[in-house]
């Protein structure tokens, strides 16, 4: 009997020591910095269990004890709450902080910038080249893309707000474009009610069209409202807008980098030298500043402007003054980035 009691005592002591050792191991792992020496990305694959995640962390040198991580997750009752995704890990994290990061799903965010003045074609090309986006729209026409986005009857140009967007790896291109589409729609909804009274713009879409023209015409941000003012006054007077970027857009693939006289005489819906009023759609993706400019154009009397060669423009109220400015500043060779110079009505 004494022997049994002694054996039981030894077992209990061993068990107590074992529990104490495990507790000490977990406590140290939870509070001490992990083994990671340099910042790095770590990806949790969908469907991964805590054991697999722990082994991957150890194999990639993030932690030095896979068993301790798995035990800690189970002891905290969080083994089934680890979320898939790409994480950015920094040295100095404790095991507890690492576990909390994976449970919270604080995945790494990547940045993609939609550039002001891009066309939808340029946006699609740049998005297709982004390796951290999940691609599903390659090979589809613009109309098919808009149908996938839930807007089958809309022209895509101008509908996506230029901005820098942050997203986790694996985001679908459809979801990304829907986000940029909503951002533009919300911007128009917010800004349209604040417009100047009496603008010759029937609806927010017409403001979007004009903003896209201002975006393509403006190299100097401070001139946006002045250029918008010129176009607003020309619309009010029934004058043609006579802006090169719309002609270039209408030429599409036929534009070879220089606008020629025959290009200006070619009748397309976007040739504002031949047709009065706004073109049928935007010609690019305008930024917020261009939207604000057309809804709050600068006052003045200028009806003409001509590029000075440094990105800025000379503004004129009369044709005579404009012609003098043309003789002073105008270059005869038109380039792809040429800033147009409205002429006589």
Q: How confident is the model at residue 234 (pLDDT cuts 50, 70, 90)?
A: very high
Report the alpha-carbon distance of residue 20 to residue 87 in Å, rounded.
33
Q: How far apart are CA 296 and CA 229, in angstroms?
A: 8
Please compute the mean of the pLDDT values over residues 155-159 and round it to a whole number.
Answer: 98
DSSP string for 45-63: -TT--HHHHHHHHHHTTS-
Burial class (CB in 10 A: 0-12, 13-18, 19+), 38: exposed
User: Distances in Å between the alpha carbon of 191 and those of 262, 276, 296?
Assistant: 39, 26, 10
153, exposed or middle or buried, with CB in 10 Å at 0-12, 13-18, 19+?
Answer: exposed
pLDDT band for position 147 (50/70/90)? very high
Mean confidence (pLDDT) of the chain: 88
The CATH-assigned architecture of domain 33-107 is 2-Layer Sandwich (3.30)
**What pLDDT shows up at residue 23?**
61
Cα 213 from Cα 244, distance rounded (Å): 9
Model confidence at 203, pLDDT cuts 50, 70, 90, reads: very high
pLDDT in tens, 330-340: 754 444 444 45
pLDDT tens figures, 262-280:
888 888 999 999 999 999 9
- pLDDT tens sequence across 1-16: 554 444 444 444 344 4
Task: With a cut of 50, say whether residue 22 has pLDDT above it.
Answer: yes
Q: What is the pLDDT of residue 27?
A: 75
Least confident of 18-22, 28-32, 126-130, 260-264: 18-22
The model's pLDDT over 295-327, given as tens digits with 9 standing for 90+, comes to 999 999 999 999 888 889 999 999 999 999 888
Helices (H), 172-223: 173-191, 204-217
pLDDT on residue 272: 95
Q: What are the residue boundaries of the structural domains of the chain, listed by start?
A: 33-107, 109-189, 212-329
């Amino acid at each position: 009997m004494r022997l049994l009691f002694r054996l039981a005592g030894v077992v209990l002591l061993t068990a107590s020591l074992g529990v104490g050792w495990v507790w000490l191991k977990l406590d140290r792992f939870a509070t001490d910095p992990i083994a990671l020496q340099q910042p790095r990305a770590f990806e949790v694959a969908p469907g991964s269990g805590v054991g697999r995640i722990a082994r991957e962390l150890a194999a990639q040198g993030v932690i030095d004890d896979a068993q301790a991580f798995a035990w800690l997750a189970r002891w905290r009752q969080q083994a089934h709450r680890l979320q898939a995704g790409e994480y950015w890990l920094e040295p100095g994290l404790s095991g507890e902080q690492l576990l909390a990061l994976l449970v919270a799903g604080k995945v790494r965010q990547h940045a993609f910038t939609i550039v002001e003045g891009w066309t939808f074609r340029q946006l699609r090309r740049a998005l297709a080249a982004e390796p951290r986006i999940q691609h599903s729209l390659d090979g589809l026409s613009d109309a098919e893309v808009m149908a996938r986005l839930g807007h089958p009857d809309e022209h895509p140009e101008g509908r996506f707000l230029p901005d820098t967007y942050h997203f986790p790896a694996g985001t679908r291109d459809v979801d990304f474009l829907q986000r940029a589409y909503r951002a533009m729609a919300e911007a128009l909804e917010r800004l349209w009610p604040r417009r100047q009274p009496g603008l010759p713009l029937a609806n927010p879409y017409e403001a979007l069209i004009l903003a896209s023209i201002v975006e393509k015409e403006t190299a100097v941000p401070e001139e946006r409202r002045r250029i918008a003012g010129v176009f607003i006054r020309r619309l009010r007077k029934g004058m043609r807008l006579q802006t090169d970027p719309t002609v270039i857009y209408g030429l599409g693939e036929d534009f070879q980098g220089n606008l020629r006289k025959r290009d200006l005489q070619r009748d397309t819906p976007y040739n504002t030298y031949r047709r009065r009023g706004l073109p049928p759609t935007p010609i690019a993706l305008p930024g917020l500043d261009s939207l604000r400019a057309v809804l709050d154009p600068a006052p003045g009397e200028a009806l003409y402007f001509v590029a000075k060669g440094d990105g800025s423009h000379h503004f004129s109220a009369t044709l005579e003054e404009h012609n003098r400015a043309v003789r002073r500043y105008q270059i005869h060779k038109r380039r792809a980035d040429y800033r147009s110079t409205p002429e006589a009505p």
